[in-house]
Amino acid sequence: MFTGIIETTGEVISFTPGTGAARLTIAAPEIAGRLRTGDSVAVSGVCLTALGIEANAVPPRFSADLAAETIARTTLSRLEPGSVVNLELPTPAGAPLGGHVVQGHVDGVGTLVGLERVSDAPDSDWVLRVRVPGSMARYVVEKGSIAVEGISLTIAGVGGGAEGDEIWIAILPHTYSATNLHALKPGMGVNLEVDVLAKYAESRERAEAEKQELTVEYLLANGY
């Protein structure tokens, strides 16, 4: 499990398609020395398995294989050498939960609409606007949590844009500089993971609705 509190950023060295899984190699000086083969690591919000770790290389690096599902559902196959990615290691048991529960299971790819400064002050905050796929819209609520590129963020507003499919998020200066947000441009895809608690709530509501339908009154009313 992750919390969406980005530990550091890395830089893509290569993306190599294969006949089976593709391989992504990332320069990660801050964490490569702490990884062991098989460890989980979140790369821009995608939970991957660390392989081919070269802690003594220049720069230190690790690789990860991408399954077809990962390639289809995330932006990782679109990354080019030099692309900046967010990196987070799993949260140890008993550690404070600083953001929200992030699984590293990306639900879909949104589109970065804009990232604009609120003022001209050097320490100005920013406003991030993202277009959300329609399949995810029911999980997006004002003041709810969402992971964008693996970053735990709070939705400040819902329903912007010509089709009402945008959300906007307030970004603090630290978040802007310490993550890959500063390297993104309008039109680029961003990995999105909705709050898993919203999914559980929907699942429970559906189960309760189905249970209520199978009452004696329901059965009698329908000729059973």
100 is catalytic: no
145 is catalytic: no
Please check whether residue 224 lies inside any domain of the structure: no
- Active-site choice (8, 40, 77, 178): 40
pTM for this entry: 0.89
Q: What is the pLDDT of residue 220?
A: 64
- Which residue numbers in the chain have pLDDT < 70? 205-224
151 and 112 in a common domain: yes
The CA–CA distances, whole Å, from 174 to 27, 30, 80, 122, 152 equal: 22, 18, 25, 12, 13
Q: What is the pLDDT of residue 206?
A: 67
8 is catalytic: no
Q: What is the pLDDT of residue 221?
A: 65
CATH number at residue 148: 2.40.30.20
- Active-site choice (14, 154, 177, 215): 154
62 is catalytic: no
What domain range is 75 assigned to? 8-88
- Give the Cα separation of 66 and 26 in Å (integer): 13
Q: What is the pLDDT of residue 218?
A: 61
105 is catalytic: yes
67 and 114 in a common domain: no
Q: What is the pLDDT of residue 160?
A: 76
14 is catalytic: no
Q: Count of domains in the chain?
A: 2
